[in-house]
Amino acid sequence: MLKTEFHSNQTVAFDPIPSLVSCDWNFPGQRNGEGLYNLHPYPAKFISQIPKTLIKAFNIPKDTVILDPFCGYGTTLIAAQSLGYSSIGVDLNPIACLIARVSTQDCSQNIVESATRCIQKAKATEGLISMPYIPNLDHWFKKPIQIAVFGLITAINEIEEENLRDTLRLALSSILVRVSNQDSDTRYAAINKPVEKNDVYSIFSRVCQQYMQVLHSSQEDYPNAFVLNKNILEVSPSDIPSKVGLVISSPPYPAAYEYWLYHKYRMWWLGFDPLLVKEHEIGARSHFFKKDHHTPKDFENQMQKVFKLLSKICIQNSYACFVVGNSKIHGEIIDNTELLVSAAAQENFELRTILPRNIPSNRKSFNLSNSRILTENIIILQK
């Protein structure tokens, strides 16, 4: 059904679909990932142009919010905020939620001064505090690096002001792969890197200075973004404090990316349990490669549960936009677009259009069999 827009005395049908269809969703020549969109690595992140273009295309009532039920980095939330809309993001992964919170909230205190104090404390306690148990730690981090990282995290965790503590935790998280023995964010091989204990302090300090340049200050006035760290399959309508006027999301589709694995050591260091995240992560490869493994039908059922929730919290006629690619499981291509559209239809979300786009060649995955999948779809549904 078409929404309506009132122009003087006439009622004019407003259909956003033609302008969406005529858009080039590959955004050739446009740069992505600066400032707030580049605080921390995150796999399978949206390019900011996708949520920005979608938000601009729809009439979103001002008393509603934009929801991303799999918010990851929080790209949708940052885009919504930059265009004057309040938003809500949900994600299972605590690192995702930390990034989304820090990038959308203000940090009123002086980040750099606080970072310097943490570095001083960490240096003063070097070798005096006992390490937490983290599996295989010596394989991935040299002993002196472990001492510096743990000293820093201990000092940061003592900060009372929540936004400031979150910001410094995120800054430390962002440098962990760089100071570890891990080759790169997407390659789990231990190599010998010329990193010393003092590099941990200097890189951390440099990142905090960069954060200071880009994070919101308390003087700025911007719309609210609320981040909920929860399994979406356990979210109830009462967890979502406002009516939803637009959904923009990209679900974790079967056997494509391993978000828990990507952030495994970040979670250990920050005091979270990655194994718990793995257990509930939709689409995680391990669920598809075990005895009694998950099937594409399980994914469809999970998505149907998500649409059941959306049907209760989205206003009538509102749109839900989902970006999804195909998967390859046990040698077979799985059409996730079809599964998602079928799940949506069962909860009365009507398919309005499907917009294809190319997946950028620099988007790396742990699953090499998947890297030959070169396109994804933006599925536009309407309640």
Ligand X SMILES: C[S@@+](CC[C@H](N)C(=O)[O-])C[C@H]1O[C@@H](n2cnc3c(N)ncnc32)[C@H](O)[C@@H]1O
* Among 211, 259, 299, 307, interactor with ligand X by CB under 6 A: 259
CA 345 to chain CA mean position, Å = 26
Q: For residue 85, what are the CA distances in angstroms to 34, 63, 89, 227, 352?
A: 20, 9, 13, 14, 24
Q: Which residue has the tokens 């939330």?
A: 77
- Number of shown-chain residues binding ligand X (CB under 6 A): 22
Please provide residue 226's backbone torsions phi and psi, each rounded to the nearest 5 degrees.
Answer: -110, 130
User: Is 174 a residue that touches ligand X (CB under 6 A)?
Assistant: no
- Select from 16-24, 70-78, 80-88, 308-316 the region that touches ligand X (CB under 6 A): 70-78
Query: Applying CB under 6 A, which of residues 41, 94, 252, 254 lies at the interface with ligand X?
Result: 252
DSSP codes joined into one string, 70-138:
T-TTTHHHHHHHHTT--EEEEES-HHHHHHHHHHHSB--S-HHHHHHHHHHHHHHTTTTSPPPP-TTHH
Q: Does 54 bind ligand X (CB under 6 A)?
A: no
* Closest distance to ligand X from the beta carbon of 224 (Å): 19
Compute the distance between CA of residue 352 and CA of residue 19 in angstroms, rounded to an integer: 13
Output the smallest distance, CB 9 to ligand X, in A.
42
| Binding region for ligand X (CB under 6 A) out of 65-73, 156-164, 309-317, 351-359 | 65-73
What is the distance, to the nearest Å, from the Cα of residue 323 to the centroid of all Cα atoms in its chain? Answer: 13
* Residue 33, φ and ψ in degrees, nearest 5: 80, 35
Q: Does 250 bind ligand X (CB under 6 A)?
A: yes
**Structure token digits, residue 244:** 């939803």
- Binding segment toward ligand X, per CB under 6 A, in 22-30, 39-47, 57-65, 357-365: 39-47
Euclidean distance between CA atoms 71 and 200, whole angstroms: 29
Give the nearest residue (CB) to ligand X.
72
Using the minimum distance from each CB to ligand X, give the nearer residue, 77 or 168: 77
- Contact call for residue 282 and ligand X (CB under 6 A): yes
Q: Distance between alpha carbon 178 and the CA centroid of its chain, in Å?
A: 20
Of 30 and 209, the one with the shorter C-beta distance to ligand X is 30
Rank residues 70 and 141 by Cβ distance to ligand X and give the closer one: 70
How far apart are CB 364 and ligand X at their closest, in Å? 14
Phi-psi region of 35 (alpha: psi -120 to 50; beta: other; left: phi over 0): left
Residue among 90 and 344 whose Cβ is closer to ligand X? 90
Structure token pair of residue 199: 């590099």
Q: Does 53 bind ligand X (CB under 6 A)?
A: no
Taking the complex as a whole, the smallest distance from the CB of residue 288 to ligand X amounts, in Å, to 13
Q: Is 379 in the site for ligand X (CB under 6 A)?
A: no
**Does 306 interact with ligand X (rule: CB under 6 A)?**
no
- CA distances 221 to 2, 83, 87, Å, are 34, 12, 15
Least distance to ligand X from the beta carbon of 53, Å? 14
Whether the Cβ atoms of residue 199 and residue 206 lie closer than 8 Å to each other: no
Q: What Rg, from alpha-carbon coordinates, does the chain have?
A: 22
With CA atoms as reference, report the closest residue to 357 among 340, 374, 341.
Answer: 374
- 377 in contact with ligand X (CB under 6 A): no
Q: Tell me, residue by residue from 215 to 234, as one string, x for binding to ligand X by CB under 6 A and - for no binding.
A: ----------------xxx-
Pairing of strands 10-14, 3-7: antiparallel
Asked whether the beta carbons of 336 and 327 are under 8 A apart, the reply is: yes
Task: For residue 90, give the H/E element and its range.
Answer: strand 87-91
Toward ligand X, which CB reaches closer, 45 or 197?
45
Our finding on whether 173 is near ligand X (CB under 6 A) is no
Q: Which of 25, 58, 73, 299 binds ligand X (CB under 6 A)?
A: 73
Chain residues 80-139 in contact with ligand X, contact rule CB under 6 A: 90-93, 96
Which residues here bind ligand X, judged by CB under 6 A? 42, 44-46, 70, 72-73, 75, 90-93, 96, 231-233, 250, 252, 259, 280-282
